[in-house]
Structure 1
Amino acid sequence: METREAAERFVGVWRRAWAEHDVDALLELYAEDCVHRSMPFRAPHRGRGELGAYLRWSFAAERVTDVRFSAPVVGADGV
C-alpha cells in the first residue's frame, strides 16, 4: 500500500470508528506492541490492550457523532 493511501485509510477509519465508538476497528490500525499517546504529558498506552482500555474509557462518557479530520499531509519525509 502506498504511503498516501495508508494515511488516507488511517484517517478514514479513525473518522468513522470514533463517531461510532468502534474500538475494534481502531485497534486494527495498530501493531500489537504499539505505543500510543493521547496527550503529550500523559503516560503512553503500551500495546493494543492498554490502547483498547483507554478508548473504551474515553468513549464511555463521550457523545461525539460528527468527527472531522483534515486530509493527511504526505511528503518526502513522512506523514
Structure 2
Amino acid sequence: MTSKLTPEQRQLLKDELSVEIAGYLVDDFKLSPQEAIDVLYTSETFERLQDDATGLYYQSPGYVYSFLQNELKNARVE
C-alpha cells in the first residue's frame, strides 16, 4: 500500500533534511550556521532535493549529505 504525501508533508521532509545537512556542514567544515545554510542553498544537491521527481526527500540525511560532500569535493574555483 502506497501513501501519497501532501505538498506540505514533502516540504516538511525537505526542511528537516536541510536542517540535518546544515548541521553536518557546521560540524565537518567548522562553518557558522549561516555559512552552512548558504553553502547548502546554493548547491546543486539542494536543487535536486527540492525537485520532487528525484525523491531525495525520502532518503536519509547522511545519504543526501554524501551527494553534497561529493559536489563540494569536486567543485572548481574559477
**TM-score calculated relative to the size of structure 2:** 0.32
Structure with a larger share of its residues in strand: 1
Higher relative contact order (CA 8 A, sep 6+): 1
